[in-house]
Structure formats: C-alpha cells, structure tokens
C-alpha cells in the first residue's frame, strides 16, 4: 500500500458509543462507525489503489470507471468524519449556537427557530438516502441549507460544511424505524455548537 492511500483511516469517536443515548443508541453508533464508516474507508483505499495503477498505465477508461466509487466512498468518509465531530452527549450540547454564528443564522434565516424549522422540513423531505447540511458559501458570504443524495460531499456544490445530518436508514432505523422526523427532531439535542462554530470561524 502506498503512503498516499494509507493515510485514510477510520477516526476514533470523541465519545463512547453509548454516550449519545437516548438520542442515538449504542448499537446504532457501533454499527455505523465500525461497519458503515469503516466500509467507506476500506473501499476508498481499494479504489484509489486501482486508480493509481490505472493512471500509471494511462488507462483512461478504467480511470473514468473508478470515479463513481471514489466519489461515493470518499464522500462517505468525509461526511461521517464531520458527522461524529458535530455531535456530543446531550448533557454537553448547548441547544443552540451563541456568538457570531447565532447572529449570522439570524441574519440569513430570520432567527434560529426559523433556521431550525426550515432545516427540519428539508431534511425530512429528502427522498431516499442522503444528507442535509448547514454550509457556508464563501462566494455569497452566507449560510445555506443544502440537501444532497447518496454520499455526495458538500464540496460538490461549492459549500463548506458546518454540520450535516445523515438520513440514510442505517443512521436511525434500528431505533426510530420509519419515523425519520422523530430522529431529526431529536438530533438537535446532541449538536456540539461550540465545535460547529469553530469550524465556521476557521472558514470565514
């Protein structure tokens, strides 16, 4: 394995699997991290190795054929790495942001509650598997909500991700079954706004 591809590894969680209960069960967290996220990392490494090999041989059609797998698995790795870091135990969550991020959310959405309602509605309405995000547009200098299918990372729509909600069924089905709105509603109480604000301040 080349040093280039072996740098992609499953990150440790900043808390234990059971720490997000009762919002997300330990069982979901363990499977999501050690099976799903690990799977994206593994397939990303394999696809990048095949790509490097095809590139060495100048095999353009093989390179193009590998791009979908790289997009999907790299997206999965990027998205989940951000997801884990944006969450925290309910006892540590601040409920809503403070400081400049709170001001910017109020400027761009009217109020935190209006942002929350819009985010909730758009997230619940995603068809099939995907993610919803709060992102920062460097070009427009404003906060935006974006919903993307599959594992497409926010960079594909030229936004910097601040936090995302995974609405693949593997993220909630064992606990919430078909009730995606209940899962999305509950996730507000485990967002780490200090971490999210830090990410935004680094981006702006």
Answer for the pair 182, 163: CB distance below 8 angstroms, yes or no. no
Look-up of token digits 């190795």: 49
Nearer to Mn ion, 5 or 81 (CB): 81
Residue 142 CB partners (closer than 8 Å, separation 6+): 104, 107, 108, 136
Least distance to Mn ion, CB of residue 133, Å: 14
Nearer to Mn ion, 29 or 146 (CB): 29
Least distance to Mn ion, CB of residue 76, Å: 7
For the window 107-146, what string marks contact with Mn ion as x by the rule CB under 5 A?
----------------------------------------
Least distance to Mn ion, CB of residue 123, Å: 14
Nearer to Mn ion, 8 or 50 (CB): 8
* DSSP label at residue 87: B
Cβ-closest residue to Mn ion? 166
Measured over the CA atoms of residue 148, residue 145, residue 139 and residue 87, the dihedral's sign is negative
Q: How many residues bind Mn ion (CB under 5 A)?
A: 3
Only one of the segments 114-122, 139-147, 160-168, 176-184 lies at the binding site for Mn ion (rule: CB under 5 A); that segment is 160-168
192 binds Mn ion (CB under 5 A): no
166 binds Mn ion (CB under 5 A): yes
Least distance to Mn ion, CB of residue 142, Å: 27
Answer for the pair 166, 78: CB distance below 8 angstroms, yes or no. no
Nearer to Mn ion, 112 or 173 (CB): 173
Query: Residue 101's closest CA among 191, 10, 184, 4?
Result: 191
152 binds Mn ion (CB under 5 A): no
Q: In the beta sheet, which residues pair with residue 134?
A: 145, 163
Q: Cα dihedral angle (164, 32, 181, 186), rounded to 10 degrees?
A: -80
Least distance to Mn ion, CB of residue 127, Å: 17
Look-up of token digits 């996220």: 37
């Amino acid at each position: 394995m080349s040093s280039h591809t072996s740098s992609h590894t499953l990150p440790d969680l900043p808390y234990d699997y059971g720490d997000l209960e009762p919002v997300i069960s330990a069982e979901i967290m363990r499977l999501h991290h050690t099976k799903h996220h690990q799977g994206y990392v593994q397939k990303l490494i394999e696809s990048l190795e095949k790509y490097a090999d095809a590139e060495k041989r100048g095999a353009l059609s093989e390179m193009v054929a590998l791009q979908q797998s790289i997009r999907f698995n790299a997206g999965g790795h990027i998205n989940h790495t951000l997801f884990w870091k944006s969450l925290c135990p309910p006892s540590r969550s601040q409920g809503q942001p403070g400081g400049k991020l709170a001001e910017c959310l109020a400027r761009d959405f009217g109020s935190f509650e209006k942002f929350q309602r819009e985010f909730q509605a758009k997230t619940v309405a995603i068809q099939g598997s995907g993610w919803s995000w709060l992102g920062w547009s460097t070009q427009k200098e404003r906060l935006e909500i974006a919903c993307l299918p599959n594992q497409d990372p926010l960079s594909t729509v030229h936004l910097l991700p601040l936090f995302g909600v995974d609405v693949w069924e593997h993220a909630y089905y064992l606990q919430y079954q078909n009730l995606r709105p209940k899962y999305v509603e509950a996730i507000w109480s485990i967002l780490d706004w200090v971490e999210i604000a830090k990410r935004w301040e680094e981006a702006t």
